[in-house]
Structure 1
């Protein structure tokens, strides 16, 4: 397929044969005349994820998959440029450098556990409250955690555990700041968290933070940079549910960059990762579910102007969505309203838009406010329809 990367080519041909990744690894070893352990499923996964280039294995790939070697070489040619890494997005210097003379108290695992509990409480609060309500306590917690790490006396093990928690705290604090409309502050917080997670060697945290920052960039007109960061943060060492969430954010970045095929591929990766989940996940992934992935799929289809795919999916999922999560429900309904506009159903779009406006009235969220503007702007194409006119006049 013209313009296809070698990563996509390997995966497409493997699936066409009905092979698993371990099977392809075994077939490649056989084709190369090497022992079976010379290549593993993890190697094949990295090739397909674009994390590693199979240059030395190209002849064996061609033989195993029955494809001309020249085709693989042609697919490999555009990949000469070095992909970005998460390190390219870290802040200058080290804002987490411990003080040379530490005057703080001795820090132990009980402090790490207490911090983890407060972080989870902040996440649960974010489920039912908006960024404008939570930004102040979130920033207080983050400043306190950084102070504890920099000034406290702790062992290397405790220090790494603290850094991992600071990374997780920075992710939810950055999310809250973005929801409050403080985009610059959110970016600084996310970068701080990336630095902490990198130093803690927490690949799951790095993925969550890079995906969150990429998500914000994608929504702020920086889609190409978002794609670069989101893909840089991918790791096959993260648990399946974390990979599913990250692939969802990769899909969104590609969508905003008008790269529909890549977005659909990423959605497929997210679904595949979630099927591998066995429940052993960090606490912050409690909200990731098949329904959440389905909502993202529908949002992608909406942005790609495919309402016949988006409307049925959103209608079904939102009918059973938790009504206490008013902000998320209003946001997701906003995409349903836009999908109805694209489907030439202005009356349904107007009714859904009114629900979004009513639900958002007491929600201090910059994201819902921006989505209402998008919905109203799209409705103006049908301002001669009485139901639409009523919504537009009421909003004005």
Structure 2
């Protein structure tokens, strides 16, 4: 357990360093200047970030160099050493605290706020607006929804800070902020605005925690883990996806736990950890089946056996198991709501790749043509990136007329 804690601390430290734009060597030189000694090297920084060692006397210079509160860094380091105020047997929230420290907007009321009083109906309206954004995201791409989503998020934060309300209504408002932050982050990620998405997700985690909604915290943190997995931060994705699952706990609703396990599976897939990915897929199906008739949060409305099958097929494709992926994708797509154009095209991209791996380049080309025609006018960075993946996958088969036609038609 201590090794895993050190690894998480190291990843946290590496992320803080990258956020300042410094290399390991530059950080070492800055630490030496702050401390007035030349006793720390790039190699020592590397050991800290790999989790081989946990800094002690260097914590204060590190806090100054990385521009973070010393108390936060000390608590994280103490947790990594297992000797701390984080207790010898930490609760599930603590790993996420290490991985995702608070850096979002403060959600407390304004000091001079004397706004009007709001009640449960206002909180319900906020939750309804969050769900309206989710339903819009089903059919509208991120580039078109980005501005409205962040206007809603800003309004929600102002509503909470500039009004008075009971404690129960305050928690409901915070949960509404968390839900809007999650879908706003998802929309920003789809639009390719990953830094903006991460800020929204962090704000959402803060709000959901203050609301005491552990299941929502897990959902938001898992969304960020999914983004990490898709943007070259696979190790962080694995750690954060597991932390999200732990934070939500075993009593989270079944659909939510299925979603958490799917995100764990995807993180392991992108990290090249096939056995762990396959195990998490199985756990997702088990979780959903165990609570088939259980009430679920509204934000989990879309989690279904069909969506789990899609994730199975995507994992199989990434792990080069096309004989498992192709029939599953054909089956799911035959029943998929074509009104959800972006997601339909997104899943077609995996089918095209799996068909290439199955040595069916002509059928892959036809699938790619369908996918590319659907995405021509969609303002989604995710589908644009998948289009490039599909075309690159087809390139080795350019000598085949059907493939060459597709490649030439979409050369731009």
Same fold (TM over 0.5): yes
Task: Name the CA distance, whole Å, in 2 between partners of 1:319 and 1:93.
Answer: 42
* C-alpha displacement of 1:93: 6.8
Q: CA offsets, 1:193-250, max 9 Å, x none?
A: 0111111110110111011000011000001101101100112121011000110011
Task: Name the CA distance, whole Å, in 2 between partners of 1:319 and 1:225.
Answer: 35
1:222 maps onto 2:233 in alignment:
yes
**Of 292-301 and 95-104, the range deviating more from structure 2:** 95-104
What TM-score does the superposition give when structure 2 sets the normalisation length?
Answer: 0.75
Q: Which residue of 2 aligns with 1:293?
A: 308
Give the counterpart of 2:124 among 106, 113, 121: 113
* C-alpha displacement of 1:276: 1.5
Assess if the C-alpha contact under 8 Å between 2:345 and 2:383 holds in 1.
yes
Unaligned runs of 5+ in 2: 5-79, 83-89
Assess if the C-alpha contact under 8 Å between 2:104 and 2:203 holds in 1.
no
Assess if the C-alpha contact under 8 Å between 1:131 and 1:365 holds in 2.
yes
Q: Which residue of 2 aligns with 1:374?
A: 389
Task: Name the CA distance, whole Å, in 2 between partners of 1:160 and 1:134.
Answer: 27
Q: Which residue of 1 aligns with 2:96?
A: 86
1:259 maps onto 2:269 in alignment:
no
Task: Name the CA distance, whole Å, in 1 between partners of 2:194 and 2:314.
Answer: 22
What secondary structure is seen at the aligned counterpart in 2 of 1:265? helix
Task: Name the CA distance, whole Å, in 2 between partners of 1:178 and 1:107.
Answer: 32
Give the counterpart of 2:198 among 187, 205, 223: 187
* C-alpha displacement of 1:339: 0.3
Task: Name the CA distance, whole Å, in 2 between partners of 1:363 and 1:220.
Answer: 20
Pairs within 5 Å for 1:146-185? 146-185=157-196
Assess if the C-alpha contact under 8 Å between 2:181 and 2:200 holds in 1.
yes
Assess if the C-alpha contact under 8 Å between 1:132 and 1:364 holds in 2.
yes
Task: Name the CA distance, whole Å, in 2 between partners of 1:351 and 1:90.
Answer: 46
Assess if the C-alpha contact under 8 Å between 1:90 and 1:194 holds in 2.
no
Q: CA RMSD in A?
A: 1.7
What secondary structure is seen at the aligned counterpart in 1 of 2:335? coil
What secondary structure is seen at the aligned counterpart in 1 of 2:106? coil
Q: CA offsets, 1:357-396, max 9 Å, x none?
A: 0011121111000000000011111111111100000001
1:200 maps onto 2:214 in alignment:
no
Q: Which residue of 2 aligns with 1:12?
A: none
* C-alpha displacement of 1:92: 2.8
Task: Name the CA distance, whole Å, in 2 between partners of 1:92 and 1:186.
Answer: 13
Assess if the C-alpha contact under 8 Å between 1:99 and 1:150 holds in 2.
yes
The number of aligned residues is 319
Task: Name the CA distance, whole Å, in 1 between partners of 2:104 and 2:95.
Answer: 17
1:270 maps onto 2:270 in alignment:
no
Unaligned runs of 5+ in 1: 6-78
Q: Which residue of 2 aligns with 1:248?
A: 262
